[in-house]
Amino acid sequence: MMAIKHIPVLLRESIERLNVKPDGIYVDGTFGMGGHSREIAKRLKTGRLIAIDRDAEAINQAGKLLSEYKNRISFVHGNFSDLPDILKDEKVESADGMLFDLGVSSPQLDCAERGFSYMSDAPLDMRMDKREELTALEAVNSWPADKLRRVFYEYGEEKYGGQIAGAIVKKRAEGSINTTFELNSIIFSAMPAAARREAQHPSKRCYQALRIAVNDELGAIAAMLETAPDKLKPGGRICVISFHSLEDRLVKNAFAARVNGCRCPADFPVCVCGFTPTMKLITKKPITPGDAESALNPRARSAKLRAAERL
C-alpha cells in the first residue's frame, strides 16, 4: 500500500498557543497520524503526553510513528468525549494542556474501504471507531426520509436535502444502497443541473452530514467541551481546531460561557447572578491557515483554531 502523506493542520500556531512545558502533562485528544503529538512530545523532558484516538488503526500505528518518544507517551484507544474516565484510568488528575483537532485524518479519507470519501467506490461505512454498530450503510438504508432530510440540512447545510432524502428512499425500495458511488449517483440525480456544476463535488455536504451523524461527532465535541476545561490545571490551556461552522460554533460558545457567562441584563451596572469566569481567551478571533499552508494542504483551508486558558 502506498504511504499516505499527512500534513498536520495549523501545527506551529497550535503548538505555540499550547505553550508546552518540559515537565507538563498534555493530552492530544485526536492522535491521527501523530503530527501534533510529535511536536508536543519532542518538547517534553520529564513530562507526559496522553494521545487518544477513537480509530484503532491510528493507535495501532502510534508506536511506530512516534517510537523515539514512546517513554513519554501513553496511547489510548478511546473517544475524547470520555476524557474524565480516560484521565482517571491513566491516573492523571489534571493536565497542563489539551489539543483537539476535530478534522477527519488523511488516512481515513484516502483509505477507500473506510467509505468516508465520495471520490472512491467503496462500501458505505464512515465509522471512526469500528467497534460501533451504526454505519452509513444502515443510516442510508433504514432512516426515514424526514430524518435523512434533517441530517443533510442541519449537519451538511444541504439545501436540496429534502429532494436527496426522497430520492434515497425511492431508490432503496428497489434494493439496498451499498456503495459510495451508488449513493453519489442518487445525490447527483436529485440535484438541479446548476447545483451539479458547482465547484465542489455534489456529494460533499451529504457525506459530511452522514459522517457527523453516524459518529455522533457533535455530541462527542459537546461532551468534551463540557468536561475538558475542568481537567486543566490553573494556567493550563486548551486548543481546538475545527473545520466547519457547526463545530466552530460549539467551541466558540463553550469558551464564551466560561469567559463571560454572566446572565444579568445588559443595563445592570454590576453582576448579581454570581458568575465567576473560569477561563480567559488566548485567541480573541479564530486563527486560520495562511495562503502558503492552504496551497500546500487544501484540506486545511476551512480550519479554525481557538484557544483558552484556565484561570
Q: Mind listing the pLDDT tens digit for each residue in 226-250?
A: 999 999 999 999 999 999 999 999 9
Mean pLDDT of 180-189: 97
Alpha carbon 64 to its chain centroid, in Å, reads 23
Mean pLDDT of 215-228: 97
CA distance 241 to 251: 9
**pLDDT given for residue 3 in this prediction:** 42
Mean pLDDT of 26-50: 97
Q: Mind listing the pLDDT tens digit for each residue in 258-290?
A: 998 888 887 888 888 888 999 999 999 999 999
Q: Considering the chain, what percentage of its residues have pLDDT values greater than 90? A: 81
Indicate whether 78 pLDDT > 50: yes
What the chain holds in terms of domains, given with CATH numbers, is 11-107+218-310 (3.40.50.150), 133-214 (1.10.150.170)
Q: Mean pLDDT over all residues of the chain? A: 94
Cβ atoms < 10 Å from Cβ of 201: 16
Show the CA angle centred on residue 33, arms to residues 27 and 35, nearest 5°: 65
Q: Considering the chain, what percentage of its residues have pLDDT values greater than 70? A: 98
Assign 11 a pLDDT band (cuts: 50, 70, 90).
very high
Q: Say if CB 212 and CB 155 are below 8 A apart.
A: yes
**pLDDT given for residue 245 in this prediction:** 93
**pLDDT given for residue 5 in this prediction:** 56
Distances (CA, A) of 133 to 56, 83, 127, 180: 15, 22, 9, 19
